[in-house]
A and B are shown apart, each in its own frame.
Chain A
Amino acid sequence: MTANTPPTDVQMHRRSRRPLLVEAGIVVAIALLILFAAPALLTAIGQEFRINMLGRFLALAIVALGIDLIWGYTGMLSLGHGVFFSLGGYGIAMFLQLQLPEGELPEFFTLYGVKDLPFFWQPFHSLPFSIAAIALVPALMGGVLGYLVFRNRIRGVYFSILTQAALIVFFNFFNSQQKLINGTNGLKTDTTKIFDVYTGSDQAQGIFYLLTVVLLVLAYVLCRWLTSGRVGKLLVAIRDDESRVRFSGYDPTGYKVLVFAVSAGLAGVAGALYTVQSGIISPKSMDIAFSIEMVIWVAVGGRASLVGAVVGALAVNFAKSILSEQFPDIWLFFQGALFLGVVTVLPGGFVGWLRNQGQDHLRSLFGRPRRVITYPSLAEDPEVDYERQNLRN
């Protein structure tokens, strides 16, 4: 093909397919590494307990993807994802609590003198229902809440405050309802049984670990699909100029509801996976600080970058747990410093930096010139180049 003939449609097609295949290959390779190499490695260096930690943090990476979708891409800062996370967690915990011989009630009910199972517990006898509920209940709630909020054009900081208010409402409700969901104590899962195996056993935990990695990959694929193509561009357009989007003939409400619902559903799945690996879900996961932490993971990793969200969630959480082991008294200062550092020095997060300045640094390390985006005709013009070199003040 000479430079002048325009590429045919088939060639264009092939060219756009190849990077996607490469990306898929990389994702699968990383997933396999995390599945097989990471546990082996951690066992080899005597840090076996970190496998469970890694599993939990991978679950948190799924929430981070959801936050990135709604905040990084669509520009809506949700400070209430703890609600959706907890709904997913309570969903699976209720199912596990009900894995008892016929007629028995979970232990805490008898403690408070409850004789009959509350009505909303009933469907959680069924595994398919519980699995569906983990993702769909938060998604539905996000969708309905989103519809009411977005239809009335509530945006920006008002949206953030609203989500945080919802978080507090849910926290207070779950925290105070001993007779319904064991209130502030939460629901334990590690002493419950699933398919006649204790949830806390190594065997079950291994399966949960596998499940987490698989679902993280699926979540990544879903987000990747949503953010590429027209809808992805439209989300960015909504973030940058929502009223322009309206005047172009789009109703942003539908798109925002979709993204909010998907994001909430992902948080629910993450909550369930986190719960079975940590052994408990309690109203503490609806703590304001935890929902804000989710945002910090994405900010550190890089907004509007799916890889950034995953990396951010893993890095911040590992840093947090290692620092809190080493410096139990002052580790919170590190977290604050990290966030301040990212906001002031790396506004695009780690991946954002890597994409822009980082590439230039790397190129200069290898003695290659910096990338410049200029007018193509000017970039090659020696006179302009001379000016650039000599007239810089």
Chain B
Amino acid sequence: MSDKILEIENLSVSFEGFKALNQLNFSMDTGELRVIIGPNGAGKTTFLDVITGKVQPTEGRALFKGKNLRSKSEHKISRLGIGRKFQTPRVYLKLTPRENLDLSCNRHKNVLATLLGRPSKTEQRTVAGLLETIGLSTKADLSAELLSHGEKQRLEIGMLVAQSPDLLLVDEPVAGLTDEETENVGNLLLTLAASHSIIVIEHDMEFVRQIARQVTVLHQGSVLCEGTMDEVQTNPQVIEVYLGQPEESDA
């Protein structure tokens, strides 16, 4: 088995003729923290949609730990070990943070096991530890709809971790957060990077600078360039995409 956790080969996705992804090639190593940036409409979210099974590729394939993800449904891919955080925080609002985490933490997710099983001691401890990590211990038993935006973001990241995935896909985790909250989330991601492979999609350049080691720039559905933050920022193509040709980046 290769030590690449994720390999994307010649991936194309088209929606009624519009190519959201175009011959995209991408790979990352196990244990890597990768940030993907790109202007609006570059195909960042579609990229995650393909990996998590929400969208089927028109062409090409995505391999996770050497396994082809094609035509696997979302929950199967999730059970393989890929966790996804959405752009807007999506937690179960009517449940408490503890229950939110407990549902994600559950090891046996088929109907019968969930119906008859009780949360094990280790699972209860994992949940308590996670509440500590994401800083929600004091609000563990409030309804999640009462949490602030930033707390919901952290809760959703916690839910991902509770699934104990090998690969975390995090879509714009700091959108709409204050500077302080942004830094909190950044530190949280850096802590998690010690034990997980993580892909982060982000617009906020300050934040990218805080966490990024390796950056991939997407543009019009394919990889424009890859490198460290400094390399990327001085790359003339990237500057052109982000700053020049406003009629294109407006899309």
Contacts and interface: CB of A to CB of B under 8 A. Distances in A.
Nearest to B80: A249
Contacts of B119: 230
A109 to B, nearest CB: 43
B52 interface: yes
A241 B74 contact: no
B73 A231 contact: no
Contacts of B115: 226, 229-231, 258
Interface in B210-230: none
A36 B191 CA distance: 64
Contacts of B52: 247
A239 B118 CA distance: 22
A237 interface: yes
Interface string A224-257: 0010011101101101110110111111001100
B93 interface: yes
Interface stretch (B3-11, B31-39, B106-114, B172-180): B106-114
Contacts of B106: 230
A230 B75 contact: no
Interface residues of B, number: 36
Interface string B48-87: 0000101000000000000000000111001100011010
B92 A247 contact: no
A233 B142 contact: no
A71 to B, nearest CB: 15
Nearest to A259: B111
A247 B114 contact: no
A376 B141 CA distance: 12
B103 A237 contact: yes
A45 interface: no
Contact of B73 (A229, A233, A239, A251): A251
Nearest to A241: B90
B129 to A, nearest CB: 14
Query: Of A231, A239, A246, which is in contact with the most chain B CB atoms at under 10 Å from its CB?
Result: A246
A248 B102 contact: no
Contact of A255 (B54, B79, B102, B111): B111
B234 interface: no
17 contacts: A229-B118, A230-B117, A231-B115, A233-B92, A234-B103, A240-B94, A244-B86, A244-B90, A244-B91, A246-B78, A247-B78, A248-B159, A249-B109, A250-B109, A251-B73, A255-B111, A258-B115
A12 to B, nearest CB: 9
A240 B89 CA distance: 13
Interface string A292-321: 000000000000000000000000000000
A226 B102 CA distance: 17
Q: Which of B75, B79, B106 has the most CB of A within 10 A?
A: B75
A384 B163 CA distance: 38
B75 to A, nearest CB: 5
B117 A373 contact: no
Contacts of A237: 92, 95, 103
A240 B142 CA distance: 17
A236 B92 contact: yes
B163 A248 contact: yes
Given A234-B103, A258-B115, 19 more contacts: A231-B111, A233-B103, A237-B95, A239-B94, A243-B74, A244-B90, A247-B52, A248-B78, A248-B159, A248-B163, A249-B109, A250-B75, A250-B103, A250-B109, A251-B109, A254-B110, A254-B111, A255-B111, A255-B114
Interface string A360-393: 0000000000000101100000000000000000
A258 B94 contact: no
Return the 8 tightest CB-CB contacts between A and B, nearest first.
A249-B78, A246-B74, A254-B111, A237-B92, A251-B75, A249-B79, A244-B90, A250-B109
B114 A240 contact: no
- Chain A residues touching B, majority SS: helix
A228 B119 CA distance: 13
Interface in B164-208: none
A153 to B, nearest CB: 10
Contacts of B86: 244
A239 B73 CA distance: 20
Contacts of B95: 233, 236-237, 240
Interface in B131-149: 138-139, 142, 146
A278 to B, nearest CB: 35
A250 B106 CA distance: 10
Given A246-B73, A247-B74, A248-B159, A233 B102 contact: yes
Nearest to A226: B115
Contacts of A230: 102-103, 106, 114-115, 117, 119
Nearest to B110: A254
A9 B122 CA distance: 13
Contacts of B117: 230
B46 interface: no
A251 to B, nearest CB: 5
